[in-house]
A and B are shown apart, each in its own frame.
Chain A
Amino acid sequence: DAGITQSPRHKVTETGTPVTLRCHQTENHRYMYWYRQDPGHGLRLIHYSYGVKDTDKGEVSDGYSVSRSKTEDFLLTLESATSSQTSVYFCAIREQGAEGYTFGSGTRLTVV
């Protein structure tokens, strides 16, 4: 019933390489979010988008950039991956005026 898919599901990359994670939705929701999940922390917001080409930083945005050129896609880019960016990344979507969030299945990224 996805409505939201993340790709890839798993990735191993080397330090210093660029990495792009994709979040794709079929719900036409306005809001999209990227979070990271690490042991000892709750999910933390990296960046979010409130419309095409409208994005803003979250609490842990350093080292990350995002783009949203179409309603359905929200891309998260690590320009030069570091080991501290090893994490599980979740995308979430929300319709304007609605309270419920839908989460993607997550992307497990390992930077070696």
Chain B
Amino acid sequence: KNEVEQSPQNLTAQEGEFITINCSYSVGISALHWLQQHPGGGIVSLFMLSSGKKKHGRLIATINIQEKHSSLHITASHPRDSAVYICAVRFIETSGSRLTFGEGTQLTVNP
């Protein structure tokens, strides 16, 4: 079964802390996405990865294809980073470029 698991489900941090959110998947993928969902509900795409590492500002995403694992890091966290972070993958054998989503990680950054 094609599955995506995220950990932790909930994460509370103090402003300035380094944060890591993990994503594991079950079988081969062609792409992995990290998404952010703010309290208002809108979903925005942060990264798309098929290998290696990407960085945008204080956000860093890495993927290890052999380990079937990805991490999202936030450096110098800020209260405005509080959101749900969602991992989504495109499994190789699925049609229509469909994504399978993890349940999300609720991040709260306190001042």
Taking Cβ atoms with an 8 Å cutoff, the residues of A that contact B are: 31, 33, 35, 40-45, 48, 50, 56, 58, 88, 90, 94, 99-103, 105-106, 108
Say yes or no: A88 contacts B103, CB within 8 Å.
no
Please tell me if the beta carbons of B96 and A101 are within 8 angstroms of each other in the complex.
Answer: no
Q: List 7 A-B contacts (CB under 8 A).
A: A48-B96, A48-B98, A50-B96, A90-B43, A99-B31, A102-B45, A106-B41
A103-B97 in contact given A42-B4, A43-B86 (Cβ < 8 Å): no
Given known contacts A42-B4, A48-B96, A94-B97, is B102 in contact with A101 (CB within 8 Å)?
no
Contact A106 B98 (CB under 8 A): no
Please name the residue on chain A nearest to B3 by beta carbon. A42
Which residue of chain A has the shortest Cβ distance to B103 in the bound complex?
A42
The residue in B48, B95, B99, B103 that gathers the most chain A C-beta atoms within 10 A of its C-beta is B99
* Complex alpha-carbon distance, A88 and B95, angstroms: 24
Q: Are B86 and A42 in contact (CB under 8 A)?
A: yes
Known contacts A90-B43, A105-B41, A106-B42: A45-B48 contact under CB 8 Å:
no
In the complex, the number of residue pairs spanning A and B with C-beta atoms less than 8 Å apart equals: 50
6 residue pairs, one from A and one from B, having the closest CB atoms: A42-B101, A103-B43, A43-B101, A99-B48, A106-B41, A42-B103
Interface centre among A40, A101, A108 (most CB of B within 10 A): A101
Number of interface residues of B (CB under 8 A): 22
Q: What is the chain B residue whose CB lies nearest that of A108?
A: B41
Query: Out of B42, B45, B95, B102, which one reaches A42, CB within 8 Å?
Result: B102
Chain B contacts for A103, CB-based, 8 A = 35, 42-45
Shortest CB distance A40–B (Å): 7
Distance of A88 Cα from B43 Cα, bound (Å): 12
**B42: nearest residue on chain A (CB-CB)?**
A105
- Please provide the chain B residues from 21 to 71 with a CB less than 8 Å away from any CB of chain A in the complex: 31, 33, 35, 41-45, 48
Q: How far is the CB of A43 from chain B (nearest CB, A)?
A: 4
Complex CA–CA separation, A88 to B41 (angstroms): 9
Contacts of A35 in B (CB 8 A): 101
Q: How far is the CB of B100 from chain A (nearest CB, A)?
A: 7
